[in-house]
Structure formats: C-alpha cells, structure tokens
Amino acid sequence: MKKGTVISIIISSLCLLAIPLTVLSFGLAIPTQFDETYYGELPYLFKRLKNGKEGKIIFVGNSAIAFGNRKDLIEKELNKEVVTFGLYGAIGTKAMMDLSKAGIKKGDIVVLSPEISEQGLSLYFSSENMWMAIDGHYDMLNYLAKDNKESMVGNFASFAAKKFDYMVKGKKPKVDGVYQQSSFNKDNQEVGYMTYNREYNYMVNGYDANSMVKFDVNYLNDEFIKYINDYCKYVKKKGAEVYYNFVPVNNLSVTSSKEDIDAFYDELNDRIMCPILGSPHNYIFDYEWFYDNNSHLNTAGTYIYNKQLIDDLKTVFKDSSPTNIGIPEKPDIPLPDYHDGDNSDLDCFNYEEEADGYVVTSLTEKGLEKTTVIIPSTYNEKPIISFDATVFQNSKTITEIVVPANIRTLADFSFKGCSNLTKLIIQHASPSLLNVGTSLLEEADNCYVYVKSDVYDIFANHYNWGYYRNKLKKY
C-alpha cells in the first residue's frame, strides 16, 4: 500500500473516531447501499481523477458537467486525457473543488465551471448527500475541509440508520431513468461521462420555471471568491493551470439582460485569480438542446456545447485547427402522453389553454369551499399539465390536494400560507415525470407528500425529489 494511501486512511479514521464507537462500528459494518444510485458515480469519478496522468484536463463543477461534458469528444479533438468531475449541485461546488485536489498533477489544465445560481456560487455543502455519495469509500473524507468533516460526523448516525433500513429489507434503493450510476456506463463498464440517451427537452414550455438563471453580481460573495482564489493558488503550486468556464444555460431561463451578463463577467474577471475561458453569451443555447433542467443538456445538445468548449480550449493550446464535431438537428419535442383520471372536481377550477394542454389558473367559488380537492386530469379532451403558483396560496380550508399524473411541474411556493394543508398526494409513477424545485412547501410546514409505495424509494433518492426525503410518505 502506498504511503499516501496509508496517511489518507489514518486521517479519515481520525475523523470517523469523532463518532461514538458503537454508532461507528454499526455503520461501517453495513454493506454499501447507495452505489447503484446517481450518487454512486462520485467514487468512480474520484478514482479516475486520482489515477489520471500528468497533463490531463479536469472539469470541476456540478451536474451541468455530468450532463454536458463529453470526455470522448474532447479527447479525440485535443489528444489529451480528460477527467469530468461534476455530479450533483446538492453536494456543493466547494466539496468538488476540495476533492479534485486529490488528482491535480503537474501540467494539468483545470477548468472550474460552477452553475450560475446562488447555491452553485457559494460554500454550500450537504453532508447528507455526501455520505450517500461516498458510501463504502470513506478515504474520500480526507480531502474535505475541516468544517465539512465536522458536519459529516454529525450526520453519520442518520446515514447509518438509512443504510440499516435498506439492509434489513434486503433491497438497495430503487432507481430509474437517468438518475442512476449505470447512466455513466457502456457495456456495463464505467466510462467517465454520461451515456444515458436523453432524447429531447421535456420541460413544460421548454424550461424549468423553478430554477431561472440570473447572472447576478451579488452571487459573487467575498467568501466564495476567496475560496476560488485559494484554489487557484493550490492548482498553480502543483504546477498546473486553472481556468474558469461557464456551464450551458437554457436561453428561455435567462432573466438577465445582455448588460447584466456583461457586468457579471466583468466583476468575476476582476476578482478571480485565473483567466476566464470564453464568453458567457456563447454558452447560452436554444431550449431544444436541453433535457430536464436549465443546465442539463440532452444527448444532441452535448455536441453543440462541447464544440464550443473545445474551440475555447484550443485558444489555450494555441491550436488553430478546425473542430470536427458535427452538430445534429435539434430534437423534435413530441406532445406528452396523458392519462384519463378523476375529473369529479372539474368545476372547482378555472383554466387557460396552452400549446401542450391546459393550466389551472384559479379556484372557483365551489373550489374555495372544499377541504379535499382533486386536480382534474383533462379538460376539453386535453391534459391539464400544470397549475399556477397562486391557485392554492393562503388557503385556510384545504387540507388535502390530489395531483394527477398529467401534471408535469410544481411551482415553488405553490402552497405558501396553506397552514391547514397536511396531504399532497402525488399519483405519478416516476419522479422524473414531475419537476419540482426546492421551495414547494415553503410556509406549508404541516404538509407531507404522499407517493405510491412502490416508487417511494425512487422519489426519496431522486435528483430533485430527494430534497423532500424527510417529507415523503407512502400510500
């Protein structure tokens, strides 16, 4: 065993020893449970990073890296080893920067690409998500910052309890769709980039209204800028170079003017200690290239993004050769399938027609008097696909709402002020069929989300719905 590996294990062990011995022994004795989930890809990325040779290109960031960067295309064009090191915004940009230090070597090119959001451009860290990501690979603890290690210690008991629950059931967490480790595999082998075929944009109206993109200079807080600059110093000390780059962004989601974007670029360029690779304007793409998130590309979209990325990297290498990546046609977006359902409360709502179906705009007088209300599935032989965030807000009478499978998105703050709401019943067969943000239950503290028992695990471990893990119940 290498000396560095021994030291890593010792330091990680000292961190774990801060946990009561009985809890620690119990937790470590439980076999790995989360390796098949989306989180389970992180140890593979980390291993590839550590084993990488000198002179490689490392992309560090969040899920936009996972959904966008094509290791195969970049390596072919630039003839350099590529490591993509981005997975999940809930883990935190800070942690991905810290973990990346394990594999930075002389001659490397590091490309730092945080997502354009308040969370992505911050020191946010989730120990709950990190435990699931490093399940069975506890040596990775060594590379986290001291305050994050302390947070991990405080959450170990909860993590061990989750693992124990799955072990007793004899089944690992269920997964489906793109959010699983196998999405990064080809012929049952991990390849370091996402191979799952994302066919087209299936967001309502082509964008996620819960995560609009704002190039806000206020996101560039002093703490995060200092962390970037300290990271730059570390990279340069290792004999490597570091650049800042922008992630792909859905044009329909951008709320900033051209002048605001330019001001964001100028502020960032003035304050960070590394060059910026390319212009943010060149990474704002048409909505047809995206998948389920304003920074998650579909498979066709990866070609236009990686071509731009390679062109910008060629300026670093002083390479004037043309980039031979063909851009496919924009994927057609079919009308969504819809289901017939319970329309008994049809007269409790008002509606407005959109291209893909109808949107519920408000409650009628009858609806205002209801305590339990079922959102209809169809209206005028078309699906009801969403409801405005204001429909139920501040209701003091409604205690239970049923959301049919045709609803494709839930707006943040939809139940703000609904103090008596206790049940939100979701009829969907998969969490991938219903987009949700992080503020759905804001000011609805008494409300729990009920999902079908056979898909409970999938919801609890989903990229978006996992945020509501502690609010989920089975029916």
Of residues 19 and 425, the one with the higher pLDDT is: 425
Q: Are residues 452 and 406 in the same domain?
A: yes
pLDDT tens digits, 279-337: 999 999 999 999 999 999 999 999 999 999 999 999 999 999 999 999 999 999 998 88
Confidence check: pLDDT of 23 > 90: no
Q: Is 445 a member of any domain? A: yes
Residue 26's pLDDT band (boundaries 50, 70, 90)? confident
Confidence check: pLDDT of 5 > 60: no
Q: Are residues 55 and 102 in the same domain?
A: yes
Q: Are residues 303 and 390 in the same domain?
A: no
CATH number at residue 400: 3.40.50.12480
pLDDT tens digits, 219-240: 999 999 999 999 999 999 999 9
> How many angstroms separate the CA atoms of 188 and 185, rounded?
6
Q: Which domain range does residue 302 map to? A: 3-316
Q: Which two tokens stand for residue 316?
A: 């670093």
Q: Is 162 a member of any domain? A: yes
Strands (DSSP E) found in 65-118 = 82-86, 109-113
Name the DSSP letter for residue 326.
P
> Which pTM was predicted?
0.93
Amino acid at 44: Y
CA-CA-CA-CA dihedral for 64, 70, 71, 73, to nearest 10: -150
Q: Are residues 374 and 281 in the same domain?
A: no
Residue ranges of alpha helices (H) inside 69-202 are 71-78, 93-100, 127-133, 146-169
Q: Give the count of alpha carbons within 13 A of 438, CB side only.
A: 9
Q: Is 331 a member of any domain? A: no
Average pLDDT (342-349) is: 98
What is the rounded average pLDDT for all residues in the chain?
A: 94
Of 297, 316, 335, which closes a domain? 316
Residue 24's pLDDT band (boundaries 50, 70, 90)? confident
Confidence check: pLDDT of 66 > 90: yes
Average pLDDT (439-464) is: 96
Q: Are residues 161 and 205 in the same domain?
A: yes
pLDDT tens digits, 77-89: 999 999 999 999 9
Q: Is 141 a member of any domain? A: yes
Q: Is 453 a member of any domain? A: yes
Q: Is 329 a member of any domain? A: no
pLDDT tens digits, 94-125: 999 999 999 999 999 999 999 999 999 999 99
Q: Are residues 90 and 230 in the same domain?
A: yes
Confidence check: pLDDT of 21 > 50: yes
Average pLDDT (403-408) is: 97
Residue 22's pLDDT band (boundaries 50, 70, 90)? confident
Question: Is residue 114 within a helix (H) or strand (E), and if so which, with residue range?
Answer: none
> How many angstroms separate the CA atoms of 428 and 263, rounded?
42
CA 136 to chain centre: 22
pLDDT tens digits, 154-189: 899 999 999 999 999 999 999 999 999 999 999 999
Confidence check: pLDDT of 246 > 70: yes
Name the DSSP letter for residue 37.
B
pLDDT at 3: 47
Of residues 81 and 11, the one with the higher pLDDT is: 81
Residues 6+ apart with CB under 8 A from 75: 81, 82
| Distances 370 to 281, 366, 388, 415 between C-alpha atoms, Å | 48, 7, 18, 15
Of 298, 316, 334, which closes a domain? 316
Q: Are residues 13 and 77 in the same domain?
A: yes
pLDDT tens digits, 121-161: 999 999 999 999 999 999 999 999 999 999 999 899 999 99
Q: Are residues 98 and 153 in the same domain?
A: yes
Q: Is 120 a member of any domain? A: yes
Least trusted range by pLDDT, from 11-25, 112-126, 185-199, 233-247: 11-25
> How many angstroms separate the CA atoms of 327 and 11, rounded?
48
Of 301, 316, 331, which closes a domain? 316
Q: Are residues 280 and 375 in the same domain?
A: no
Confidence check: pLDDT of 1 > 70: no
Q: Is 324 a member of any domain? A: no
Q: Are residues 131 and 249 in the same domain?
A: yes
Q: Are residues 266 and 363 in the same domain?
A: no
Write out the DSSP string of 242-270: EEEEPPPEEGGGB-S-HHHHHHHHHHHHH
Q: Which two tokens stand for residue 260?
A: 């605001």
Strands (DSSP E) found in 184-302 = 185-186, 189-190, 241-245, 249-250, 276-277, 284-285, 290-293, 296-297
Q: Are residues 350 and 454 in the same domain?
A: yes
pLDDT at 4: 46
CB 89 within 8 A of CB 143: no
As for how many domains the chain has, the answer is 2
> How many angstroms separate the CA atoms of 38 and 45, rounded?
12
Q: What percent of the chain has pLDDT over 70?
A: 96
Cα end-to-end distance, the chain, whole Å: 50
